[in-house]
C-alpha cells in the first residue's frame, strides 16, 4: 500500500472513520488488538492487522513509511501516546491524528509529535452550543 491511512483501534471512532474513508474510496488499513473484532472487519472487506499498534514492528508491517497519515483512536490515552511516539520515531513526515480525553492530554500528545488532536467531549459541547445558537 502507498499513501494510505493507518487506523489504530477499531472501536466506535475507528469504525466510524473506516466507514467514512470507505465511502470516499481512501485506502486504509486497521490495526486492532482484539481478535473478536476480526469477523466484522473481514465482513467489510477491510485490510487489517490483529496486533498491538504500540509495537514498531506492527506499524512497519502496516507500511507506515509509505502511509500519508495515521489515526490513533484506541480507548487508552497511554497507548495512544505510545503509538504517537513510536510512529513519529519511524516516520518524521507522517501526519498524525489522535484522540485525547482532555486538554492536558492534548498538549502532551502535540509535544510528543501529533499534528492534530480531537477531544470527543469537547466536540460534542461545541456542536451543542453551535446548534442551539448559544455560541
Partner 1 sequence: MSYINKRDIKRVRLVASLLGIALVIALISYFALYELSRSTSFSLLETIYEIFSANGYPYVQSYSFLNLNDKGFGLFVIISVIDGLAKLIAISVGISILLDVIISIKTEDILKLNSYANLKDHVIICGYGKVGESLAFALEKLDKDFVIMDIDKAKARTAHILGYKSIIGDFKYERDLIRAGIKTAKTIIFSSEDAYKTLLGITVARKLNSKIKIAAVAAEEFSRSKLHRAGADLVVIAEELAALEMCNILINRIKYGH
Strands in the chain per DSSP E: 5-8, 28-32, 47-50, 69-72, 95-99, 116-118
Nearest-angstrom CA–CA distance, 86 and 58 = 10
Q: Of the ranges 34-42, 45-53, 80-88, 93-101, which one interacts with partner 1 (CB under 8 A)?
A: 93-101
The answer for residues whose C-beta is within 8 angstroms of residue 96's C-beta and 6 or more apart is 69, 70, 72, 84, 87, 88, 113, 114, 115, 116
The answer for residues whose C-beta is within 8 angstroms of residue 23's C-beta and 6 or more apart is none
* Nearest Cα to Cα of residue 8 among 67, 127, 133, 39: 67
Site string for partner 1, 2-41 (x = CB under 8 A): -x-x------xx--xx--xx--x-x---------------
Q: Of the ranges 45-53, 80-88, 106-114, 127-135, which one interacts with partner 1 (CB under 8 A)?
A: 127-135
State yes or no: residue 118 binds partner 1 (CB under 8 A). yes
Site string for partner 1, 51-90 (x = CB under 8 A): -----------------xx-x-x-----------------
State yes or no: residue 107 binds partner 1 (CB under 8 A). no
Instruction: Give the residues lining the site for partner 1 (CB under 8 A).
Output: 3, 5, 12-13, 16-17, 20-21, 24, 26, 68-69, 71, 73, 95, 97, 99, 101-102, 116, 118-129, 131-132, 134-135
Amino acid at each position: 500500500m502507498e499513501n494510505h491511512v493507518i487506523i489504530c483501534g477499531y472501536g466506535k471512532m475507528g469504525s466510524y472513520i473506516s466507514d467514512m474513508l470507505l465511502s470516499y474510496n481512501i485506502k486504509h488499513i486497521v490495526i486492532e488488538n482484539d481478535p473478536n473484532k476480526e469477523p466484522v472487519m473481514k465482513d467489510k472487506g477491510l485490510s487489517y492487522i490483529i496486533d498491538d499498534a504500540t509495537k514498531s514492528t506492527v506499524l512497519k508491517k502496516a507500511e507506515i513509511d509509505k502511509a500519508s497519515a495515521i489515526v490513533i483512536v484506541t480507548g487508552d490515552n497511554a497507548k495512544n501516546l505510545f503509538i504517537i511516539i513510536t510512529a513519529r520515531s519511524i516516520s518524521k513526515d507522517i501526519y498524525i491524528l489522535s484522540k485525547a480525553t482532555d486538554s492536558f492530554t492534548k498538549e502532551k500528545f502535540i509535544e510528543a509529535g501529533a499534528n492534530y488532536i480531537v477531544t470527543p467531549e469537547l466536540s460534542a459541547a461545541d456542536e451543542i452550543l453551535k446548534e442551539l445558537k448559544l455560541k
